[in-house]
């Protein structure tokens, strides 16, 4: 068993690399995609889940470890899997290097977050105290404080603000010299701190290196690194996206009666645009396939661009125009709803049957007050979910270590509990969102053991965890920078206003996009 574990930890990334790092869908319904795999072929899809990815790699490694150590004639791979030996059991173990170079001995261990949503459950998993008791003791000023393994008092600071404005609050705390040990950040603004050695420590300072991240999703390995390539963040949760849709309307206009057939109808952007046009034409303009331009852009823009080239020069590729042309066509033919995200009309379109589907993140399925619940709960049982035209992520949370911490031993312990403990990661999935671990999520998806009751009723008991898990495996990102979020916002805003509404020529629209970006970031050059 130890041999199996060691082989897996050492070799899995190499195997994944041979399988192209990104999961290869077995049923890729693209007309002219170079990576289409024949639907009848099972080559490489060891566990027959429709994907060739790290889970299959782990099974292969387990099998070869078994054949190398067994006496006599080894069983076949098929029998090995049939006997349950090739299951997707997590192999996560604590990194063996326990060296902590940060200060220790502090009397208070402080965790800072912009909201209350996750820290109490993570503290509960770490200490073994029930979440409700953690909350009670944290907020009541109880005389019996919760303590870390070192004996330090655990102090949770809830900034009670939106993620976008949390950075300003963090700046105030750092400028005041506040005693912070670990803090949470969203990927699109975490780099600000990851690139500042005064505010963030490398993970190697608590004995964690990239070799310990073999069970993370490939895209999160990039999110973990700062601009210099140093591992400075723990992306402890993943927020993959998917496409949720009215199954009865899809059947009426597209003739699809299952999520698999819907995926075949919208499995790439060309198919998505074609299906949107079909629905608009058959409904005489009364029905849009997509909820909003911003929703489409959220998916399309994920990982596709490297906006800032060397010398801080803007580099907006031709893919931006390709999206703009598709968006303009769908806007004009009624294939995309003309609503803006977060306004009442946006969710009402789903309630009233004015749009077929929404681009959605996994976190919205863990929260009964999310926009997905609002948009879909008027038609319980009439919705389904599929991956959509592209795998993407929408959100996520990073854990960062303050370089000035005086509780390095507790920092390591807290990270181990959150990211390297399979049981705790499963508990996290039941209470919050998806953990950043391929094997834990594969197990939960396979068991189909997670169901938010309200969402299960809406989706006819469909295993939506499996859909998000498959999406997470397929996410690929070129690079990311602290500019990306605002640049993406500027691009879609100008496409909608200039290219679509004012019908400007593309060159004029591009000029406006570049001017707006450089207005927001004067250090960038056109």
Residue 402 pLDDT greater than 90, yes or no:
yes
Q: What is the pLDDT of residue 87?
A: 47
Above 80 in pLDDT, residue 432?
A: yes
CA dihedral 128, 132, 136, 137 (to 10 degrees): 0
Distance CA 317, CA 142 (A): 57
d(CA 517, CA 165) in angstroms, rounded, equals 20
Confidence at residue 175, expressed as pLDDT on a 0 to 100 scale: 93
What mean pLDDT is reported for the chain?
A: 85
Q: How far is it, in rounded angstroms, from Cα 520 to Cα 487?
A: 9
Compare 18 and 244 and report the one with higher pLDDT: 244
Across 76-80, 175-179, 270-274, which has the greatest mean pLDDT?
270-274
Return the CATH superfamily for domain 241-392+471-520: Periplasmic binding protein-like II (3.40.190.10)
What is the pLDDT at residue 461?
85
Whether 329 shows a pLDDT value over 90: the answer reads: yes
pLDDT above 90 coverage of the chain, percent: 65
In contact, 306 and 478? CB cutoff 8 Å? yes
Rounded to whole angstroms, the Cα distance separating 203 from 99 reads 11
Answer whether residue 376 shows pLDDT above 50.
yes
Q: How confident is the model at residue 67 (pLDDT cuts 50, 70, 90)?
A: low
Question: Average pLDDT, stretch 137-143?
Answer: 75
Residues of the chain with CATH 3.40.190.10: 108-239+395-447, 241-392+471-520
User: What are the DSSP calls for 55-115, one per residue?
Assistant: HHHHHHHHHHHHHHH-SSSPPPHHHHHHTTTT---------S-----S----SEEEEEESS
Q: State residue 44's pLDDT score.
A: 61
pLDDT (0 to 100) of residue 121: 95
What percentage of the chain reaches a pLDDT higher than 70? 81
- How far apart are alpha carbons 408 and 356 in whole angstroms? 50
How high is the pLDDT of residue 75?
65
**Mean pLDDT over residues 173-197, rounded?**
94
3-class SS of residue 204: helix
**CATH number assigned to the domain with residue range 108-239+395-447, chosen from the 4 options 3.40.190.10, 3.40.47.10, 2.40.50.140, 3.40.50.300:** 3.40.190.10
- pTM across the whole model: 0.83
Q: Is the pLDDT of residue 127 over 80?
A: yes
Which range among 63-67, 322-326, 367-371, 448-452 shows the weakest confidence by mean pLDDT?
A: 63-67
Q: Residue 42 pLDDT > 90, yes or no?
A: no
Q: Assign 96 a pLDDT band (cuts: 50, 70, 90).
A: low
How confident is the model at residue 35, as a pLDDT?
A: 34
Q: What is the pLDDT of residue 80?
A: 53
């Amino acid at each position: 068993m130890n041999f199996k574990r060691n082989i897996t930890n050492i070799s899995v990334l190499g195997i994944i690399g041979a399988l192209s790092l990104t999961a290869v869908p077995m049923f890729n319904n693209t007309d002219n995609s170079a990576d289409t795999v024949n639907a009848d072929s099972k080559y490489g899809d060891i566990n027959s889940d429709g994907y060739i990815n790290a889970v299959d790699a782990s099974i292969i490694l387990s099998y070869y470890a078994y054949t190398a150590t067994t006496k006599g004639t080894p069983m076949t791979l098929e029998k090995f899997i049939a006997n349950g030996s090739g299951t997707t059991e997590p192999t996560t173990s604590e990194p063996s290097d326990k060296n902590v170079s940060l200060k220790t001995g502090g009397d208070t261990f402080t965790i800072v977050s912009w909201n209350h949503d996750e820290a109490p459950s993570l503290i509960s998993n770490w200490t073994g105290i029930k979440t409700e008791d953690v909350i009670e003791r944290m907020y009541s000023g109880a005389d019996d404080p919760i303590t870390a393994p070192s004996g330090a008092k655990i102090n949770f600071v809830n900034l009670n603000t939106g993620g976008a404005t949390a950075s300003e609050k963090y700046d105030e705390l750092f400028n005041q010299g506040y005693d912070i040990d670990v803090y949470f950040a969203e990927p699109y603004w975490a780099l600000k701190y990851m690139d500042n050695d005064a505010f963030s420590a490398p993970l190697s300072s608590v004995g964690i290196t990239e070799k310990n991240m073999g069970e993370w999703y490939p895209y999160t390995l990039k999110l973990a690194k700062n601009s210099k390539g140093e591992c400075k963040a723990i992306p402890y949760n993943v927020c993959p996206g998917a496409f949720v849709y009215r199954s009865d309307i899809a059947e009426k206009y597209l003739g699809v009666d299952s999520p698999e057939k819907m995926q075949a109808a919208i499995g790439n952007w060309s198919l998505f645009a074609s299906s949107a046009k079909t629905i608009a034409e058959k409904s005489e303009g009364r029905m849009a396939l997509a909820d909003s331009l911003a929703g489409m852009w959220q998916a399309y823009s994920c990982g596709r661009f490297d906006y800032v080239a060397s010398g801080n020069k803007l580099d907006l590729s031709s893919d931006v125009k390709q999206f703009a042309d598709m968006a303009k066509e769908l806007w004009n033919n009624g294939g995309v709803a003309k609503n803006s995200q977060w306004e009442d009309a946006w969710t009402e379109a789903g309630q009233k049957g004015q749009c077929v589907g929404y681009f959605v993140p996994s976190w919205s399925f863990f929260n009964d007050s999310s926009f997905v619940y609002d948009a879909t709960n008027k038609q319980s049982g009439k919705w389904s979910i599929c991956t959509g035209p592209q795998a993407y992520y929408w959100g996520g949370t990073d854990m960062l270590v303050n370089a000035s911490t005086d509780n390095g031993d507790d920092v390591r312990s807290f990270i181990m509990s959150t990211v390297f403990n399979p049981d705790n990661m499963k508990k996290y999935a039941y209470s919050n969102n998806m953990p950043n671990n391929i094997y834990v999520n594969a197990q939960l998806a396979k068991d189909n053991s997670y169901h938010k009751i309200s969402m299960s009723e809406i989706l006819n008991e469909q295993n939506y965890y499996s859909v998000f898990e498959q999406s997470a495996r397929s996410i690929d990102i070129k690079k990311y920078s602290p500019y990306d979020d605002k640049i993406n916002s500027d691009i879609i805003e100008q496409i909608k206003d200039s290219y679509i509404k004012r019908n400007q020529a593309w060159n004029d629209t591009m000029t406006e996009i570049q001017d707006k970006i450089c207005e927001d970031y004067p250090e960038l050059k056109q």
